[in-house]
Amino acid sequence: MGGRKKECPNQQENRENCPCTWRDCDKKGYCCECLKSHLSRKELPACAFPSDVERSYDRSFERFVKTYGRRG
Protein backbone atom coordinates (compact mmCIF):
# COMPACT_ATOMS: atom_id res chain seq x y z
CA MET A 1 0.00 0.00 0.00
CA GLY A 2 1.66 3.22 -1.07
CA GLY A 3 1.10 6.69 0.23
CA ARG A 4 1.02 5.86 3.91
CA LYS A 5 2.22 9.21 5.24
CA LYS A 6 2.82 8.24 8.86
CA GLU A 7 2.41 5.22 10.99
CA CYS A 8 -0.83 4.97 12.93
CA PRO A 9 -0.25 5.10 16.70
CA ASN A 10 -3.17 2.70 17.18
CA GLN A 11 -2.08 0.16 14.59
CA GLN A 12 -0.91 -2.55 16.97
CA GLU A 13 -3.97 -2.37 19.19
CA ASN A 14 -6.27 -2.22 16.17
CA ARG A 15 -4.53 -5.23 14.70
CA GLU A 16 -4.93 -7.24 17.89
CA ASN A 17 -8.67 -6.49 17.89
CA CYS A 18 -9.20 -7.02 14.16
CA PRO A 19 -11.53 -9.95 13.45
CA CYS A 20 -10.53 -10.20 9.78
CA THR A 21 -9.43 -13.71 8.78
CA TRP A 22 -7.90 -12.65 5.46
CA ARG A 23 -4.15 -13.29 5.70
CA ASP A 24 -1.37 -11.08 4.44
CA CYS A 25 -3.37 -7.88 4.27
CA ASP A 26 -1.15 -4.84 4.63
CA LYS A 27 -4.09 -2.71 5.82
CA LYS A 28 -4.70 -4.76 8.94
CA GLY A 29 -4.71 -2.36 11.89
CA TYR A 30 -4.85 0.66 9.59
CA CYS A 31 -8.61 1.02 9.90
CA CYS A 32 -8.83 4.26 7.89
CA GLU A 33 -7.19 2.60 4.90
CA CYS A 34 -9.17 -0.60 5.35
CA LEU A 35 -12.48 1.28 5.38
CA LYS A 36 -11.52 3.53 2.46
CA SER A 37 -10.44 0.59 0.37
CA HIS A 38 -13.60 -1.43 0.99
CA LEU A 39 -15.96 1.54 0.58
CA SER A 40 -14.38 2.27 -2.81
CA ARG A 41 -15.53 -1.21 -3.88
CA LYS A 42 -19.01 -0.83 -2.32
CA GLU A 43 -17.98 -3.09 0.52
CA LEU A 44 -17.59 -2.87 4.30
CA PRO A 45 -14.66 -4.12 6.41
CA ALA A 46 -14.57 -7.52 8.06
CA CYS A 47 -15.53 -6.06 11.45
CA ALA A 48 -18.95 -5.04 10.08
CA PHE A 49 -19.96 -8.70 9.71
CA PRO A 50 -20.71 -11.57 12.09
CA SER A 51 -17.89 -14.14 12.06
CA ASP A 52 -19.66 -16.77 9.96
CA VAL A 53 -20.34 -14.23 7.21
CA GLU A 54 -16.88 -12.66 7.58
CA ARG A 55 -15.30 -15.99 6.69
CA SER A 56 -17.08 -15.98 3.32
CA TYR A 57 -15.05 -12.87 2.35
CA ASP A 58 -18.18 -11.45 0.75
CA ARG A 59 -17.95 -7.92 2.13
CA SER A 60 -20.49 -6.34 -0.23
CA PHE A 61 -23.16 -3.85 0.86
CA GLU A 62 -25.70 -6.36 -0.47
CA ARG A 63 -24.42 -9.08 1.84
CA PHE A 64 -24.48 -6.68 4.79
CA VAL A 65 -28.10 -5.71 4.11
CA LYS A 66 -29.06 -9.33 3.54
CA THR A 67 -27.39 -10.40 6.79
CA TYR A 68 -28.82 -7.74 9.07
CA GLY A 69 -32.12 -7.41 7.25
CA ARG A 70 -32.73 -11.00 8.27
CA ARG A 71 -31.08 -11.08 11.70
CA GLY A 72 -31.84 -7.57 12.84
Contacts with ligand SF4 in 3-62 (CB under 6 A)? 18, 20, 22, 25, 27-28, 34, 37-38, 45-46
Q: Is residue 36 within 8 Å of 25, Cβ to Cβ?
A: no
* Site size toward ligand SF4, by CB under 6 A: 11
Beta carbon nearer to ligand SF4, 22 or 68: 22
4 CB-near residues (< 8 Å, 6+ apart): 30, 33
Closest by CA to 53, choosing from 38, 43, 63, 61, is 63
Point out which residues bind ligand SF4 (CB under 6 A): 18, 20, 22, 25, 27-28, 34, 37-38, 45-46
